[in-house]
Amino acid sequence: MKSYLLLLHIFLAMGAVCRGEKVIFSPHTFTIPEGYDLARVAAPPLVQRPIHMSFDEDGVLYVTDSSGNTDNAPDQLKNPTHRVLRLVDRDGDGTFDDSTVFAEKLPFPEGILVHEGSVYVGAPPHIWKLRDTDGDHVADERTSWFNGGSIEGCGNDLHGPYMGIDGYFYWCKGAFDPQTHVLGNGKTFKSSAAHIYRSKPDGAGLEVVMTGGMNNPVGLAFSETGDRFLSGTFFDLSGPGKRDGILHAVYGGMYGRKNDRVLSPHPNTGGLLPILTQMGPAAPSGIVMPRSNALGLRGDLFCSNFNLRRISRHRLTPKGSSYTSTNESFLESDQSDFHPTDVIEDADGSLLVADTGSWYMICCPTSKVAKPHVLGSIYRIQKKGPPEIEDPRGLRMDWKKPEVKWLSDGRPFVVSRSIEALAVGDNIDQLKKAEARIPALWTLHRISGQVARESVREFLNDKSSKVIAAAIHSIGLWRDAEAVLPLISILRQDDPYLARLAAMALGKIGNADAVKPLIEASSKSVDEFLKHAITYALYEIGDPDSLPAKNQIADQVRRMISVEEGEPSLQIMPNIEMGEVSEPDPQKKALQTKRLRELVATLPEGDAKRGRALFHNVAKSLCLTCHVMGEQGVKYGPDLTGIGSIRSEQDLLEAIIYPSSSISRYYERVLVETKEGESGGLILRDTRDQIILSNAPGVEVNVAIKEIKSAKYSNVSLMPEVFDDLFKPQEIADLVVYLTTEKLSTDLDLDDNKKGDKDVIPPHIPIDLPGLHAYAQKSISAGDEIEFRVSSSVPYKMSVVKLGKDPENRDKDPVLKTFHVGKPQSQPIHPGSYVHIAKGLPANRRLSQLTMECWIRPFSLNGWQGLITQHDYPKRSGLGLFLQNGRIEFLTGSGGEFDPASIHQTPPGLIKVHQWHHVVGTWDGKSKRIYIDGKIVAEFPFIGVVRPGQTPLRIGAYGSKGLASNFYNGDVAMGVLYGRALDSGGIKGRYLDRGLTVPKDKNLLACWPFSEERGEIVNDSVSGVHEGRIINRGTWMIGGPSFNAAKIDRHDNKYDPVNDADRGHGLRLAEDELYNARWKVNHKFQLPEETKSGVYAGRFDFDLNGKPKRYHATFIVRRAESKPKAPLLVLVSSSTWLAYNSTPFPTTHGPG
């Protein structure tokens, strides 16, 4: 037994703190919220490359520690080199002093759990049970507690185990290799999909908790009531920047990513359940929900983000039968070699964070160059000046005589240990009366027998919904048949969260008496999670004869039963061998290294603005012909949205110049051999019996899986190695520097529920609609799910129809599905285009002088219209130029309550419609002046406090009670903010320039030249900080004030506006512009895979003012993805709000 003593642990535990928000442990500078401290509590030599952690009852920390081996997982299984360390804090100061090797020669470890004296380590394909039988702190007994039976190259086959609040072991299965297991009910379960499994600690009662199409489900956290939260990768690839995240993992749920080949053999309840939190390419790993409130963080989720160098915080809010999450970065390093892999809670409520260092490169696009010499550490997050917790683990307590009152102890570890110690039949009566209701419930849950089950049922009458929720979880796990009636009563109540749990438990019990109440519950307005629980419960009950004949839920259950009974065979994907690793030619490697060093030396001179222009110049850089960046580009190579958050300058440089040295996972070229010959390309997707390869954007080759003789990843990238010749060194530096600026949002709000992606807009004034309106996707493939979004103030019948040949008799159109809606829902629209600048001027910055400048060409002079504003009426009144009934208004507020004395206006009649005007407002600290077209038209004395206010900057609107409103109608050009008052001569020069030149002034605060001409982003040419996003699209290619359209013959095909130096730039905005209604989905229908291509519609029939009405929402059905593309393209007009429509309400509403 070899022991290491950390001599400098006092130094390691202190760190250097800057202004309470920065903590330095060289080379890292960490950012942490005010009020918290960070300490390094274990570093080399105590640990080398820590991965996962788990405490025993005595406070000994067991850590899986990597050897630095970066071979793929199957090779590591043959040559196991990793270990488990045992760390001890001898003096109780929170820093570990002693490290010993508990077990060694382990394959790639992907989880650790200490339970009842044994250490369980997940190392695919096994969960190993390690025991020390002779007390020397070294494992001398090693057995396989669970064998998954598969191990693929990345080792995603197994993560865990984790201890649930219910006393079950949980673990995750990823990758897509097939596994076969015998479940606790005796059935044989075969699957290639991802899953969460659970069983009792003795291995009994194996059960599938959820199913997914994701590649790598990783970490699990549990709420005190029994909810599960899963972190992992490749959950959602539906849009730019989307990938990894966190799920609310409900029982029986099916989640993304969309992956028909592995998901189609599994019955699903009507589609994939939504992600809770979208995190982009964060590579989430360990996750925890603190039980203690010592840090003020109880009930939040904390997740390690391997790629993003941070620990993220996710605050949960109940919504319907599930949750929503507001998210933020909690701990973050400035170093790319910081890779957190786990976060756990200690007995005192502090959080431990494992940083594994930079050894890992297995299937990881960030750490492509393994750096086993860059070692990791373990850190502790704690409150500043925390009250000392006496005996946090209860080591001085007499555990031979546990007492029920200990369940009320303020120390979470004491409570957890008490739950296990008190779980004996003799304590049942006392447990029923315990004040700590949830801990008492989980203690009773661990006791077998009818007396304990009856006691748990009594908890269903508790006043606390949390206690009831925990009781339902227990009842479901025990399948307590005596609980059916009280569960049905809960199902009928108005609490959707408890109703979901009641449905879950009723399904597990399997009593047919629950069928009718479940169907009745489904007739109410239910969210996706409650609908899922009801459907899955009916499926588990398995009594199709009791289901009604015409019912959406019942029809779905019948489809689920047919999928299960049919058990369609799935073509097993052949093993794709890793590319052969050959020793590089030394001379070639030396030349590449020399060239990279030469280019690295040019990076400090790189310019992000030039790099952005080069990246978006498709003809020259070719970047967007294969990559997506935000909303632009082609989805073929890796998504580059937020690439600067996960890859360093050197990573990016190497990927551009020598792309084969750094191929991102799942973008490797695959070489496939069949009896017909060899083909190759990226695997775009796979179906039940085919893989679809592509060796260039838009090119697809279908390969039958059963015909594949062999498959192998290529070590040669599809990205050509030509860019060192195409670009000058300065251009390469510009491109690299630009890519490093493309970062993910620090608030992590990327998913559909979190108001962060392109389909969600900032708070915007709503408009309610009369009558009925609807839209669907423009085009889908047969076999996919069509979604209808509806706003209606009247009951209606919706039929999914194929438009027939007779346009004069739509009643003859074949009907695929009908929905009857008696209680319709109205959904508002949010029209009005403007530029939203989330990062405005510093809210509390007191200005000493100010100039606001812009060019406008209004189409309407009526009402109040925002031009350039950082103003939210009436509580956050800051700065602004406004157009008000033909007058220009200039606001210089204090950032607080609106003061009429802070706004001044011009005389009327100076602004004309359809004419360009140069508008400037200045304030020199004493006087305000308003200029129009280079001339002063109004002047006012003004001395006061001027601050921007805590609200976004907007171009073309201003805020009203937090909502964007009062939209500008017209063209806008060259918006500028200065931190000084321009004089009359300077303003005259700006007017004569006609908006062609970006100003050069040391006092510039922001400038928007509108030179992009495409996309939704408006750049700030000063610093990039005040970048804007166009809401509701607007219209580009509007010539600026210098452009004289009369001089251009409209039929002159030689005129190129891009190369017209005198044209200028502008953006057209309008109060009625609407790009996407962004409504929630009301109806879903999965089209059969054999559906013929053509024009289909949702046909709505309803009565309005006593008259029958009909409305069609059309969509195109393409051939199924598994079939060759059709040679014919059909274009049809559509009433969708996903495109501009000048008559969106033709016949669907009454007067007004």
| Residue 947 forms part of a structural domain | yes
Q: Does residue 430 sit within a domain?
A: no
Give the H or E element holding residue 421: helix 412-421
Residue 1114 in 3-state DSSP?
strand
Residue 591: per-residue pLDDT: 87
Give the pLDDT band of residue 1137 (cuts 50, 70, 90). very low
711 CB-contact burial (10 Å; exposed 0-12 / middle 13-18 / buried 19+): buried
Residues 461 and 340 in one domain: no
pLDDT for the residue 1097: 95
Contact criterion met (CB below 8 Å) for 231 and 287: yes
**Residues 313 and 743: beta-carbon distance below 8 Å:** no
| pLDDT over 80 (residue 331) | yes
Tokens of 734: 């510009």
pLDDT digits (tens, 9 = 90+) for 1055-1110: 777 678 888 999 999 999 988 888 989 999 989 888 998 999 999 999 999 999 99
What number is the average pLDDT over the span 712-737? 87
Does residue 419 register a pLDDT over 90? yes
Q: What is the pLDDT of residue 1061?
A: 80
Does 1063 share its domain with 1081? no
Q: Is 212 a member of any domain? A: yes
The residue type found at 827 is: Q
Instruction: Spell out the residues 6+ positions from residue 1134 whose beta carbon is closer than 8 angstroms to its own.
Output: 775, 778, 1113, 1114, 1115
- Residue 131 sits in the same domain as residue 227: yes
pLDDT at 40 over 60: yes
Confidence at residue 1140, expressed as pLDDT on a 0 to 100 scale: 35
pLDDT for 370 = 58
First to last CA, the chain: 85
Percentage of the chain exceeding pLDDT 90: 63
For residue 4, pLDDT beyond 70:
no
Residues 125 and 245 both lie in one domain: yes
> Which positions ≥6 away from 281 have C-beta within 8 Å?
241, 243, 244, 307, 365, 639, 642, 645, 646, 744
**CATH code at 38?**
2.120.10.30
* Number of separate domains in the chain: 5
Nearest C-alpha neighbor of 537 from the set 817, 338, 251? 251
| Residue 571 pLDDT level (bands cut at 50, 70, 90) | low
Q: Which residues of 653-670 are buried (b: 16+ CB within 10 A; e: fewer)?
A: bbbbbbbbbbbbbebbbb
Q: What CATH number does the domain containing 648 carry?
A: 1.10.760.10
Interval 882-899 mean pLDDT: 96
Q: What is the token pair recorded at 840? A: 């405005």
Residue 638: which residues within 8 A CB-CB, separation 6 or more?
365, 627, 664, 667
Top pLDDT among 939 and 733 is at: 939
Same domain? For 341 and 463 the reply is no
**pLDDT tops 70 at residue 362:** yes
Q: 745 falls in which pLDDT band (50, 70, 90)?
A: low
What residues contact residue 120 under an 8 Å CB cut-off, 6+ apart? 111, 112, 113, 114, 127, 128, 129, 130, 145, 161, 169
CA distance 950 to 70: 49
Between 1049 and 609, the higher pLDDT residue = 609
- The candidate with the shortest Cα–Cα distance to 602, out of 485, 736, 780, 493, is 736
Give the structural domain span for 155: 23-383
- Residue 347 pLDDT level (bands cut at 50, 70, 90): very high
Predicted pLDDT at 758 = 46
Closest by Cα among 389, 283, 403 to 345: 389
The whole-angstrom separation of Cα 195 and Cα 183 is 13
Residue 697 belongs to some domain of the structure: no
Q: Residue 1009: is the preceding peptide bond cis (ω within 30°)?
A: no
How confident is the model over 55-77, as a mean pLDDT? 94
- What does the alpha-carbon distance between residue 97 and residue 10 come to, in Å, rounded to a whole number? 10
The residue type at 1045: A
Mean pLDDT value of segment 731-747: 81
pLDDT of 581 reads 57
Helices and strands, number each (H, E), in the chain? 20, 65
pLDDT of residue 1152: 34
How does pLDDT run across 553-570, given as a tens digit for each residue?
999 999 999 888 875 555
Q: Distance (Å, rounded) from C-alpha 341 to C-alpha 287?
A: 9
* 939-994 per-position pLDDT tens digit: 999 999 999 989 999 999 999 999 999 999 999 999 999 999 999 999 999 999 99
Over the stretch 279-312, which tens digit does the pLDDT of each residue have? Answer: 988 999 999 999 998 998 999 999 999 999 999 9
- Whether 814 and 865 share a structural domain: no
Show the CA angle centred on residue 129, arms to residues 149 and 73, nearest 5°: 45
d(CA 330, CA 596): 35
Give the separation between CA 516 and CA 702, rounded to whole angstroms.
46
703 within a domain of the structure (yes/no): no
Residue with tokens 């005129």: 1055
Q: What is the mean pLDDT of the chain?
A: 89
> What's the average model confidence in pLDDT over 996-1007?
93
Digit-coded pLDDT (tens) for 95-131: 999 999 999 999 999 999 999 999 999 999 999 999 9
CATH code of the domain covering residue 784: 2.60.40.1930
Are both 463 and 591 inside the same structural domain? no
Which of these three, 566, 597, 614, is where a domain ends?
Answer: 566
How much is the pLDDT for 756? 39
Residues 539, 607, single domain; the answer is no
Query: Looking at per-residue confidence, does 614 or 368 come out higher?
Result: 614
Tens of pLDDT, residues 241-250: 888 999 999 9
Q: Give a yes or no: residue 1148 inside a domain.
A: yes
Residue 377 confidence (pLDDT) above 80: yes
- Answer yes or no: are the C-beta atoms of 462 and 225 closer than 8 Å: no
Q: Please list, in sequence order, all residues whose beta carbon lies within 8 angstroms of the beta carbon of residue 847, skipping any fewer than 6 positions away.
A: 923, 946, 947, 948, 979
Asked if the structure places residue 436 within a domain, the reply is no
Give the three-state DSSP class for 312.
strand
What is the CB-side half-sphere exposure of residue 1011 using CA atoms within 13 A? 21
- What is the mean pLDDT of the segment spanning 355-369? 70
- Looking at the fold, whether 1047 and 1126 belong to one and the same domain comes out as no
- Which one has a higher pLDDT value, 750 or 88? 88
pLDDT of 587 higher than 90:
no
Beta strands in 356-482 (DSSP E): 377-383
CATH number of the domain at 973, please.
Answer: 2.60.120.200
Distance CA 919, CA 931 (A): 6
Tell me how far apart the alpha carbons of residues 932 and 940 are, in angstroms, rounded to a whole number: 15
pLDDT at 1141 over 60: no
Domain end marker among 1069, 1100, 1119: 1069
pLDDT, residue 867, reads 98
- Higher pLDDT: 635 or 196? It is 196
Are 105 and 126 in the same domain?
Answer: yes
Distance separating alpha carbons of residues 249 and 943, to the nearest angstrom: 59
In a domain? residue 878? yes
Mean pLDDT throughout 839-846? 88
Going by C-alpha positions, the residue among 340, 326, 430, 333 that lies closest to residue 376 is 340
What are the angstrom distances between the C-alpha of 70 and each of 66, 154, 495, 498, 577? Answer: 10, 10, 50, 46, 17
Given a cut of 60, whether residue 747 has pLDDT beyond it is no
Higher pLDDT, 619 or 656: 656
Q: Please report the pLDDT score of residue 369 as a whole number.
A: 52
Span 777-795, mean pLDDT? Answer: 91
Same domain for 605 and 523: no
Same domain? For 854 and 923 the reply is yes
When pLDDT is cut at 50, 70 and 90, the band that residue 864 belongs to is: very high
Looking at residue 1150, what is its pLDDT? 39
Q: Rounded mean pLDDT of 202-214?
A: 96
Q: Which ranges of 256-368 does DSSP label H, i.e. alpha helix?
A: 260-263
